[in-house]
Amino acid sequence: MSLVFLIFLPIIAALFVPLLFKKIGQIHTGWFVLVVPVILFIYYATQLPTTMDGGTLVSEFQWIPSLDLSFIAYLDGLSLLFSLLITGIGSLVVLYSVFYLDKKREQLHNFYVYLLMFMTAMLGIVQSDHLITLYLFWELTSISSFLLIGYWYTRDRSRFGALKSMMITVFGGLMMLGGFVLLSIMGNTYSIRELISQAPELLGHEFFTWALVLILLGAFTKSAQFPFYIWLPDAMEAPTPVSAYLHSATMVKAGLYLVARFTPIFAASGTWVWLVTGIGLFTMFWGSFFALKQKDLKGILAFSTVSQLGLIMSLLGASALGFHVEDAAGTVFKYAAFAAIFHLVNHAVFKGSLFMIAGIVDHETGTRDIRKLGGLMSIMPISFTIAMIGSFSMAGIPLFGGFLSKEMFLTAMLAIAEFNLFSMDVWGVLFPVLAWIGSVFTFVYSFYFVFHTFAGKHKPEELPKQAHEAPIGMLVSPAILAVSVIAIFFIPNVVGDWLVKPAVLAIQPFMYSNPAEIDIHVSAWHGANTEFFMTLGIFAIGALLFWSFRKWKQAYDAFPDSVSLNRLYDSFMYLSDGGANRFSAVYMTGFIRSYLVYMFGFLVLIVLSTLVITDAFVLDLNNTAPIGIYEIIILIALVGGTITILAAKSRLTAIIALGAVGYSVALFFVIFRAPDLALTQLVIETISVALFLLAFYHLPKVSKKEERIRFKLGNAAIAFGVGVTMTLVALASHSQKILPSISEYYKETVYTEAGGGNIVNVILVDYRGFDTLFEITVLGIAGIAIISMIKLRLNKKEGQHENK
């Protein structure tokens, strides 16, 4: 089965969703949509043996061969891992949405069309081996996520969040496109695999650092790294199934995928190491600290996502250091790549379940405000159990998968402090410090989420509706994810062998030739080492901060909303919107004449400047036809008729002069031996003049004052400039013919190939038959529209007459 077809399968299925929505009646549309991700997940799961042996799958579809644009689907360990997350968690999200979204009140056809469109976009990103098609899918995620986040478009906050996410991620995408263009210039190819093979040669190129920074801008905006994270909390206005899908397993992971995929190209650069590791670690600290300031359950999870994404990003940056060492110390950074992928899987699983639980709490209590919640443990015991499992994994507590990847994270950050390249030995000590502080706050916000929601005093009077446990159908998906969280802890090496090691091979292809060579065994106990004592400190300090949170939460008052990156963004958008309105008010006059002046003025300026700067004007009169007395007479008549149109003081005179111009052109066709064109021109001119006279006959008469046309020097200058410009371009084009005229081909083949004796007829009917067909079609449509308008007007008059 073609991998390219599988990428487009969801969006193809989306074409039929509106039809299903109308035909299936009482059945929820989601049940039919669920088939698509399930089929894809099963297929991708069957490819695990291939990637576990170090193999890959490639499928190609030629899109525009002349531009070297192709859809090349490349399935290796990294892309397969992401494909499984996209389709696996996608299946659970669709199942969850069946019970979460009311089929009677929601526009389900829109929701599932957007969701399937997004699924195709994500599969395209992670499987594309072509830079340009990867970019196209990248921007498709921005568009489809905009539609999903703004799904409840009647809400102001939904529209604002959707616009904010698109503005920031599209900006990053454009920067990334610039980096891709530079990379293609450097390597003379659009293939990512070929660029990776050329990595040592690309390092010294003058565009290398520019490409690196531009691509990281795309990755950082999509994966909500500091300072671009501000779009993610506002995106929580989307329905919970969207949040569970986009912001735990897919969209925000696209930036992580980009960094992982391009690490083999840029890892040799210290700039890459510092930017990816440093910004990732600071993002982790920043997100974990401000998660405790949030009062909305999904707001807490949004900042926790920012924090967790920063953690994974820092590990990917640390993994790049493994390219710079050959001794045993390098294994620490090879270990970092393993930890990054392992935690990526962990995060997708536990964060998906937590988002679904937040949606369940909102669905069953009517609020997500944590100040109104509490005491739900006995009312919603299953939801509490799932929330506790997910939160404990996020906090890094033993018996849950998150504990294992947190230990790997601490190991990698400690190793950075001892690295003696890129000034790591001086500044690297900050990395384990920030990692430890961020982990402490991660512990606190994890406990804050679960216990402030489910423990404590129940407040039924503050809830919009009576709390109760969710229906079993809504609990199935988060329960499956919660079981997976525990399973990962007890069978980490199965996950490592099947999923993580093949992905690490794609990140570090120069270090291994097969996943079996990655000798990493995951275990929960590594002895009483530094990481062990750091973990004890995280648990002790984290527990102390959690239990004393009420006493020190006033510290967040030192960070008012009026002084924040969000306010900076809002101010920038307000100023740019106001400035744009003021600027556009200057030239948007509402008069077509003004717009024509702008267009023709710039046309003259640009074209004439190009002719002068490039020295492109050449005049060659050797191949021109002789000019006789008849041509001169007709030309004088044509120019005279044109001047008469401009100087005429009545409509009738202008129409007659316009007809004279058309008839003069027809005479030119006669002299040039084109009787068919001359006849066509004469017929059209006669009809046009008659129609003009008929139309103007029914217009009201104008006064003498309105008939006067004032001379305007600016308009005259532009008109003269356009005429001179077009004349010079025509002469230069005629004098510099690079390719032979197509008329020679027509003359040679009109009789032998087309079987016609009249070259004009053959061109119109055969060579340009589609042009003629479309012209006739347009005229037919216009005629039908005119007839409809006339009949509509007559019917209206008849109705008014009857009413009288």
322 part of a folded domain: yes
111 part of a folded domain: yes
- pLDDT average, residue stretch 599-625: 85
Q: What is the pLDDT of residue 426?
A: 63
Determine contact, residues 553/432, Cβ cutoff 8 Å.
no
> 130 φ, ψ to 5°?
-120, 125
* Of 41-55, 80-94, 787-801, the least confident: 787-801
* Domain shared by 17 and 48, yes or no: yes
Determine contact, residues 199/161, Cβ cutoff 8 Å.
no
Determine contact, residues 173/139, Cβ cutoff 8 Å.
yes
Q: Which of 1-15, 113-127, 509-523 has the highest mean pLDDT?
A: 113-127
- For 723-769, write each residue's pLDDT tens digit: 999 988 888 887 777 777 787 888 888 888 888 877 777 887 888 88
555 part of a folded domain: no
Q: What is the pLDDT of residue 701?
A: 65
**Cα–Cα distance, 239 to 222 (Å, whole number):** 19
* Domain shared by 690 and 801, yes or no: no
- pLDDT average, residue stretch 340-349: 95
* Domain shared by 800 and 668, yes or no: no
Q: What is the pLDDT of residue 583?
A: 79
- Return the half-sphere exposure (C-beta side, CA atoms, 13 A cut-off) of residue 87: 25
Nearest in space to 336 (alpha carbons), one of 386, 389, 411: 411
Q: What is the pLDDT of residue 264?
A: 92
Determine contact, residues 54/514, Cβ cutoff 8 Å.
yes
**Cα–Cα distance, 485 to 401 (Å, whole number):** 5
* SS3 (DSSP) at 620: coil
**Cα–Cα distance, 331 to 321 (Å, whole number):** 10
172 part of a folded domain: yes
Q: What is the pLDDT of residue 328?
A: 43
396 part of a folded domain: yes
* Amino acid present at 475: L
Determine contact, residues 445/304, Cβ cutoff 8 Å.
yes
What tokens does 296 get? 């909305």
Nearest in space to 287 (alpha carbons), one of 69, 438, 457, 79: 438
Cis before 18 (ω within 30): no
């400690």: which residue's tokens? 414
DSSP 735-803: HT--S--HHHHHHHHTTTTT--S-HHHHIIIIITHHHHHHHHHHHHHHHHHHHHHHHHHHHHHHHHHHH
Determine contact, residues 211/265, Cβ cutoff 8 Å.
no
Q: Which of 241-250, 615-624, 795-804 has the highest mean pLDDT?
A: 241-250
> What are residue 57's DSSP bridge partners?
75
Cis before 502 (ω within 30): no
Choose between 755 and 777: higher pLDDT. Answer: 777
Residue 18 scores a pLDDT above 80: yes
pLDDT tier at 329, thresholds 50, 70, 90 = very low
Residue 705 scores a pLDDT above 60: no
- pLDDT average, residue stretch 689-716: 71
- For 547-567, write each residue's pLDDT tens digit: 999 889 888 888 877 677 888
* Of 183-197, 312-326, 466-480, 486-500, the least confident: 312-326
- For 578-592, write each residue's pLDDT tens digit: 777 787 877 788 888
* Of 16-25, 259-268, 366-375, 458-467, the least confident: 16-25
Nearest in space to 662 (alpha carbons), one of 646, 678, 643: 678
Longest CA–CA separation in the chain, Å: 107
Convert 67-106 into a string of H (helix), E (strand) and C (coil). Answer: HCEEEEEEECHHHHHHHHHHHHHHHHHHHHHHHHCCCCCC
* Amino acid present at 356: M
DSSP 139-203: HHHHHHHHHHHTSSTTSHHHHHHHHHHHHHHHHHHHHHHHHHHHHHHHHT--BHHHHHHTHHHHT
Determine contact, residues 33/112, Cβ cutoff 8 Å.
yes
- For 467-498, write each residue's pLDDT tens digit: 999 999 999 999 999 999 999 999 999 999 99
Task: Find the DSSP H helices in 366-400.
Answer: 381-395
What tokens does 311 get? 């953690």
In the chain, the number of structural domains is 3
* Of 279-283, 304-308, 430-434, the least confident: 430-434
* Domain shared by 18 and 162, yes or no: yes
* Domain shared by 212 and 245, yes or no: yes
* Domain shared by 525 and 661, yes or no: no
Of 746, 767, 791, the position where a domain reaches its end is 746
Residue 804 scores a pLDDT above 60: no
* SS3 (DSSP) at 128: strand
* Domain shared by 717 and 754, yes or no: no
* Domain shared by 759 and 614, yes or no: no
* Domain shared by 642 and 782, yes or no: no
- Return the half-sphere exposure (C-beta side, CA atoms, 13 A cut-off) of residue 128: 24
Determine contact, residues 301/453, Cβ cutoff 8 Å.
no
> 128 φ, ψ to 5°?
-70, 135
**Cα–Cα distance, 357 to 585 (Å, whole number):** 49
What tokens does 491 get? 């069978």
**Cα–Cα distance, 118 to 320 (Å, whole number):** 30
69-75 and 57-64: which strand pairing?
Answer: antiparallel
Question: H or E segment at 640?
Answer: helix 629-647
554 part of a folded domain: no
* Domain shared by 292 and 371, yes or no: yes
- Return the half-sphere exposure (C-beta side, CA atoms, 13 A cut-off) of residue 191: 12
The CA distances from residue 602 to 590, 608, 725, in Å, are 19, 10, 12
Q: What is the pLDDT of residue 649?
A: 75
Of 746, 762, 782, the position where a domain reaches its end is 746
- For 664-697, write each residue's pLDDT tens digit: 999 988 888 888 788 888 888 888 888 888 777 7
217 part of a folded domain: yes
- Return the half-sphere exposure (C-beta side, CA atoms, 13 A cut-off) of residue 796: 6
Residue 71 scores a pLDDT above 60: yes
* Domain shared by 448 and 308, yes or no: yes
* SS3 (DSSP) at 62: strand
Question: Taking all residues of the chain, what is their mean pLDDT, rounded to a whole number?
Answer: 88
């929580």: which residue's tokens? 236
């920012």: which residue's tokens? 306
- Return the half-sphere exposure (C-beta side, CA atoms, 13 A cut-off) of residue 745: 6
> 503 φ, ψ to 5°?
-70, -40
The CA distances from residue 616 to 84, 605, 610, 612, 723, in Å, are 57, 15, 8, 7, 18
What tokens does 136 get? 């196209």
Domain that holds residue 756: 747-804
- pLDDT average, residue stretch 631-657: 86
* Domain shared by 372 and 302, yes or no: yes
81 part of a folded domain: yes
pLDDT tier at 627, thresholds 50, 70, 90 = confident
Of 708, 724, 746, the position where a domain reaches its end is 746
**Cα–Cα distance, 675 to 362 (Å, whole number):** 79
Q: ∠ CA(394), CA(402), CA(529), 5° rounding? A: 115
**Cα–Cα distance, 423 to 430 (Å, whole number):** 12
Residue 420 scores a pLDDT above 60: yes
**Cα–Cα distance, 303 to 294 (Å, whole number):** 8
